[in-house]
Each structure stands twice: as C-alpha cells, then as structure tokens.
Structure 1
Amino acid sequence: MTNHNQYKEKWLHWAKELQFLSQSALAYCKDSFDIERFERIRDIFAEIISLYSGLPFQEVKGLFCNETGFQTPKLDTRAAIFKEGKILLVHENNGTWSLPGGWVDVLETVRSNTIKEVKEEAGLDVEARRIIAVQDRNRHNLPLYAYNVCKIFVLCDIMGGIFTQNKETTESNFFSLDELPELAQEKVTEAQIKLCFDAYENPDWQVTFD
C-alpha cells in the first residue's frame, strides 16, 4: 500500500511539473489569454506547495514564482577537505554541521565557487582538486525542495588560512566518520560524507553521478 510520504512525494512531483511548464510557457508566450492561463497554473502550483508545506501562499509565490525564463536546476557546491584522515565540517547558526558550500553565484564556476565558499565559511584557502560526485538533491536529502538542485561534491586541498567566525558559521572542526555531529540533513547526509571519505581514500576514484 502506498504510504503517506509516497503520496506527498507524488504531489510534490506534480506541483514541480506544473511550475516548470508554466514558467517555461510564460517565457515564450505572447498571447495575453494564454499568459493569463499559465499564470493561473503557476498559482495552482503555489497553492499545492502552500498546502503541502504549511507556508503562506504569498510566501511560496515569493520563493518559487519570481523567476523568469526557462527553468533549470540550481547548482550547489560542497567542499570535502581532509586532514589526518578527518573531514572538515562547519558549525552553522542553527546548531547543525555541514560541509562548507552553497549556491553557485553568477559569474562563478564550480571550481571558483567551491574555493569562495570555503574561504567565507571556513576561512581556509584551498585548491579544488577533483569532483567526487554530482547528485540530484531530492534523491538524497530531506526535506524535498519544490525545485531541483544539482549538488556537486569537490575534493579540496588546504593551502593556508584560519577560521574566523562569520555571519553563516560559528566554528569549524575535523571529524572522523564514526564521530560525526548532528548534520544539516538538507545540505549533507552521513551517506554523502561517507562518499567523500571513499573518494579521499581512493586515488583512482571515479566520479559518481545521478
């Protein structure tokens, strides 16, 4: 029997498709009547997400319905940095820990964004050496997002620097796989960190991707 979580995932999938179709149509549509119809489809998406998440309708519209143009997945980079067999995690303001990283900014590449995020969140200068994995976030992390995200894990070497507290993180530390603290599951899971350990320990590692 289909359980409640499976129903929720199916509804989210349908809602995301409505958002994708309506945003794509609005990017190219010229007819005023068709524009009105596709804007209504986008509102239906926001109503579904509002019901699913408990967020106010207008907040959902502001978060997910303010982009224009053909919709594509967002990019998120996460740096895997090791020292003496342990991996670097940063402590976030909400009390959980994560690999340093974040959205790929405009004008940044995967490499430069990885380096930038490590400097901002961990205070370290690193060399981005090789890609570990490219993952579809909604296949690996919870909660599910109403848009798609490609997560790119990058193995990095420390070149210098020192941690300083900032607006996003309060401290950093190195952890072994069997002593991981409470993780920010929406950003990184134990399975993803284990994947980073596997890549670090294997010089012949082959990139995994969804």
Structure 2
Amino acid sequence: MDLDKNGQKSGNLTPETSPRLSDLPYPDCPYLLLDVRNHEDYDQCHIVSAFSYPVATLSRTMNPYTKEVLDYKNAPGKIIILYDEDERIASQAATTMCERGFENLFMLSGGLKVIAQKFPEGMTTGTIPVQCLPSPTATGGRKRQVLPQVSHPAEKKWRFTSDDLSKIQQQMENLLLPMDNSSRLSRMSMSSAQSSARSRQSDSARSQSSRPWK
C-alpha cells in the first residue's frame, strides 16, 4: 500500500492513478517536503505544499516509499526535506533514510516550532498546535493565561497564494529590520564618533597654531 498526496492509503500507483502535474506544488518543483508526523497532526496543520509521510511508513517491509519519494531520491537538482514539530521524529526518519541510501535529504531546523515563531501566517495551513506556539509572557517575565485556541483543519492547499507570499515577505522584513536598524545605528554612532574626533583634532590644531613659538 502507498500513500496518496492527502496521506490516505491507496493501491499501488499506476500511470493512471499517479498525481497529475497540476496536483504537485509547482511544475518541476526542486523540493519534496515531507511531514513525518501522523495523519491526524498533518490534517490539523502542515506547511503549504507538504505531503503526509508518517515515520511509521518507513517500517513497512513492502513499498515503504511513495512514488514522489522515489522520483526525488538522489535526483539531480532535487532535494527532499523532512519536518515535524521539533526535529525529534524527523531526525529518526532522516537517519533511517540516510542509512538506506538517500543522499539529497535535509531536515527543517526547528520544525513547526520555528515556523510558528518566525512565520505565524502564510507558511502553514490549518491551526498551528499549541505546543508549537511561543510561550506568551506578561510584563515582568511572568506567564500570562493562554486563551483557548479555535482549531481549524488544514486546507488541501498545494501552492502559496499571493496573499501568503505577501505575509511571508512582511514577516521576513520584520525579522531583518532589527538587524538593519542596529547596523544603521552602529554606522551612525561610528560616523558621529569619527566626526567628533576630527573636530577635536581640528580644535587642537587651531589652538596650537595660535600659541607663540617658544
């Protein structure tokens, strides 16, 4: 048995039942993103364009790989990316697959927890699990009460919309802005210090030139 793109069991894939090009995230997509959590967690939330591929699938003695995985295994110009919530499951899956000859395998560092912190909107579909969300703190460093989370199931969403991309771009700019401001402030401080030093040197030179020679 194989898994279809929704993570459901299906028969062996044939040319008639193989995913159409329009079903894949993007034509000639350079990456295959695999969510190695269980089906229920995938159905609650996953990264847009990810396929469900539970780690238990690797334990099968027959057909442990989907057609997509086999198509991307060590293919030139292609990579396979694994992720879970926090790397614990993904690292096990990555170890097993590397031992079985996968050489173009990568793991998403930090998993959904990092995605939830850095890209809370646009990158995922569904409701991000509570355990992946940053711990909210009130002023003084004390944790404040977390309001109940309204859960929405993940959409069957294979491509990022223009709205998703706008949100991701905005969040990337927010992530880079503090660094830019810091760098800008550093440059301003350095420039100010250099100007002050030149001014002191100029004042000293004028003062010395006004003194009578001894």
Same fold (TM over 0.5): no
TM-score relative to the length of structure 2? 0.22
Normalised TM-score (structure 1): 0.22
Higher CA-based Rg: 2
Q: Does 1 or 2 have the higher relative contact order (CA < 8 Å, sep 6+)? A: 1
Q: Report the structure, 1 or 2, having the larger strand content.
A: 1
